[in-house]
Structure 1
Amino acid sequence: MTGRVAVLGVGTSHFGRQPEHDLVTLAHAAVTEALADAGDTRIDAVWAGTVFGPPGVTQRVLRACGITGIPVITVENACASGTTAFVEAHEAIRTGRYGRVLALGLEHMSSAFSGAITPEPTDPEQRSGLALPALYAMGAARYLHDGLVTAEQLAAVSVKNHAHALHNPRAQYSGRYTVAEVLGSRMIADPLTVLQCCPTSDGAAAAVLGAAGPEPAVTVRGIALRSGAPWDDRSPHVWGHDVVRDTAADALAAAGLDSVHDLDVVEVHDAFTIGEIVTTEALGIAAPGDGGRLAADGSTALGGVLPVNPSGGLLSRGHPLGATGLAQVAEIVWQLRGLANGRQVDGARLGLVETMGGGVSVLDGNACAVAVLEAP
């Protein structure tokens, strides 16, 4: 197949701590909305992403949606699991393997963990206590030490994204915070306070993909997936920068774009405030050491030069790991259709999704997925 792949429908559940809703209920909300949005319940195959979902969970939730008897593939790629499912669904359509594919992401974090994710004992670095909040905090400390960001600029990311989420009824948290309130909130991993860290979340998100036809639809203009290379003294950057930079370069080249500044709206992986800053620099939105300033001066806010995370991002919309990437896809699709209501980026024609999969075992991230979507 030489034509483009279209995103025919998207849907999500509400995000948040939802002990009253199991994965079947959350996935049913996302899948039924995506199928209704696509206008056709026919599905030829399913790719699903989850990190902590139990064995067979995808088949169980799909049975409740009336989807059985077709190929179902479940993938785990850390926080990029849902976006990896989207990448694979795209490839299945692009190569002509299937006609209509459902990409699904789902996670019920509150039933798996009472607080932060427990370090994985088979990973030597995590066994030593290097959990992801600490890893991101090391990056923030490095930026502060080198004068690449200020504490106030770190907090500005949280202020911005919580304000964006005021216009997202599916978001877990929202609010109008000051920089002082962010910096004064409970310390989690110095220098990152609780308002600079994503919450524990439950949720699901889905997208229906098919070959682009004569009907107007959001299409995938470029897409890429990488795993991290060994992260050692050969890289001058903090953890996560290089894999995002390289994956984004692949996706932009596939999209035929000369610059990230051709984009109109971006959803990036901001599990912690430093994550958004590093990512905007790795993507080329900001020059090295300038990501914090763009967050603080409004350049990456709604109404700014290039809005980043109008959904509220992981910090505020929430971060149910397997569902996050497809929630980002849904947000960009809504933006490109002009359906994002109070958080709408005026005239958005090109949008980018970036999802970074964590992990600390010597690699520069487990995975990174980047997709460039184009309006009808």
Structure 2
Amino acid sequence: MQSHVCVTGAGMTAFSGDAGVPIHELLETAATRALDDAGLAAADLDAVHVGNMAAEAFDGVSGLHNALTASLGAHGARADRVENTSASGASAFQRGVQAVAAGAADTALVVGGERMSTASTETATGVIGSIVHDREHAYGVTLPSFAGLAADAYLRRYDAPYESLAAVAAKNHANGARNPYAQFQKRITTGDAAESPLVADPLRLYDCCPTSDGAAAVVLAAADDADDAVRVRACESAVGTHAVAEREDLLRVESVARAGERAFAAADRDTGDVDVACIHDAFTVLELLELEELGFYGAGEAYRAALDGETALDGALPVNPGGGLKARGHPLGATGVAQLVELVWQLRGEADDRQVDCGTGLAVNVAGFGNNAVCSVLEVAE
């Protein structure tokens, strides 16, 4: 029987505003849970890939991959750390998929993690702000300001109400309240979102993801698809225009569109085959823009889907069933792997109160404000 790259184990820590433990411990906890789920000993790993953006800035440490292999007892495994800003987790996953697909490894552990609570608000703002183009950064441009500009342009261009953004926030908080691993367990209404403090007009507090601590992990292996294995159909990435000011259209996220096109082509699937999606909603407007860039909706149509409940758990296309970045939390290096963990749990029917009916799932993890994107398609083998 033909072998494929499959996810044989998944695990994560709860995401929180302050985990109270070092980054090394977060990574080890998530990794151990994934290994236990896969029934695999760390000593049997061929490769370990760690996704992390800024351990030096947040924790004053480096060499996370070496420390992790030592603490796990994965002696002799090949190991590296992958950094792709806020898409570091999915990029590490892509590295692991490529290694197993190429036959360079029979088993690979992918762990993503970040501990952001150690930094002051000023330091964290500076670290995250460094993602943007240096010229724009020099003028004080931040990711929330880019998101505010995009949200304002979207609402104006399509004559969309702010409530469409608030609907995304309310949906994802409702989903997060069903997820014991989510940072926010509180449901909110669209009214709560509309009345929350203004951050970058028209975006308000509930339109923006939090800073978070946490880690997530998956085990990859070359396996047959005879026993309902979760198969990696595709994992593709693409860069976009780095400087936002140089983009032809502020509402186009080229990296997401390209990565999505490549992933659908590699998977031999299209939007109609996808039953559940994990979308990089660092800001509510990004959920709408990315759904349109991936082809699930035409330009200016995703906001209507949000208002109509099409992206809710019981909708035609459930989006961010685990709460997304907005409610599950956004530990930068962990997010891309956490999205995949959620898809694995959904595809295996292990998502408890937030379970949806699905056989194919898609995840997109974005670096910066669309500077880079990684899109993955996972599927239950038939």
TM over 0.5: yes
Looking at structure 1, the residues matched to 289 and 199 of structure 2 have their Cα atoms a distance apart, in angstroms, of 19
Q: Which residue of the partner structure matches residue 362 of structure 1? A: none
Secondary structure, aligned partner of 1:87: helix
* Runs of 4+ residues deviating >3 angstroms: 229-237
Give the RMSD, CA atoms, in angstroms.
1.9
Secondary structure, aligned partner of 1:221: strand
CA 1:190–1:233: 2 relative to 1, 3 Å: closer
**Partner letter of residue 353 of structure 1?**
A
The answer to whether the 8 A contact 1:174-1:312 is kept is no
Q: Which residue of the partner structure matches residue 59 of structure 2? A: none
Q: Which residue of the partner structure matches residue 61 of structure 1? A: 68
> Does 1:184 pair with 2:225?
no
Matches within 5 A, 1:152-163: 152-163=163-174
Matches within 5 A, 1:232-247: 236-238=248-250, 241-247=253-259
CA 1:139–1:29: 2 relative to 1, 3 Å: same
The answer to whether the 8 A contact 1:5-1:211 is kept is yes
Matches within 5 A, 1:236-315: 236-238=248-250, 241-257=253-269, 259-315=270-326
The answer to whether the 8 A contact 2:236-2:263 is kept is yes
The answer to whether the 8 A contact 2:12-2:33 is kept is yes
Residue 366 of structure 1: how far off its partner (Å): 2.8
**Partner letter of residue 47 of structure 1?**
H
Out of 235, 245, 265, the position equivalent to 1:223 is 235
> Does 1:319 pair with 2:330?
yes
CA 1:94–1:18: 2 relative to 1, 3 Å: same
**Partner letter of residue 250 of structure 2?**
V
> Does 1:27 pair with 2:38?
no
**Partner letter of residue 369 of structure 1?**
V
Looking at structure 2, the residues matched to 69 and 113 of structure 1 have their Cα atoms a distance apart, in angstroms, of 38
CA 1:178–1:357: 2 relative to 1, 3 Å: same
- The answer to which of 56-65 and 264-273 deviates more is 56-65
Looking at structure 1, the residues matched to 209 and 329 of structure 2 have their Cα atoms a distance apart, in angstroms, of 6
Q: Which residue of the partner structure matches residue 82 of structure 1? A: 89
Q: Which residue of the partner structure matches residue 371 of structure 2? A: 366
CA 1:230–1:327: 2 relative to 1, 3 Å: closer
Residue 46 of structure 1: how far off its partner (Å): 1.0
The answer to whether the 8 A contact 2:109-2:218 is kept is yes
Number of corresponding residues: 369
The answer to whether the 8 A contact 1:77-1:366 is kept is no
Secondary structure, aligned partner of 1:369: strand
CA 1:232–1:34: 2 relative to 1, 3 Å: closer
Residue 112 of structure 1: how far off its partner (Å): 3.2
% same residue: 41
Secondary structure, aligned partner of 1:321: coil
**Partner letter of residue 357 of structure 1?**
A
Looking at structure 2, the residues matched to 124 and 353 of structure 1 have their Cα atoms a distance apart, in angstroms, of 31
Q: Give the gaps of 5 or more residues in structure 1.
A: 360-364
> Does 1:101 pair with 2:91?
no
Residue 66 of structure 1: how far off its partner (Å): 2.2
Residue 127 of structure 1: how far off its partner (Å): 2.0
Q: Give the gaps of 5 or more residues in structure 2.
A: 57-61
Looking at structure 2, the residues matched to 188 and 163 of structure 1 have their Cα atoms a distance apart, in angstroms, of 22
Out of 45, 48, 66, the position equivalent to 1:46 is 48
**Partner letter of residue 364 of structure 2?**
E
Residue 19 of structure 1: how far off its partner (Å): 4.6
Scaled by the length of structure 2, the TM-score of the pair is 0.92
Q: Which residue of the partner structure matches residue 332 of structure 1? A: 343
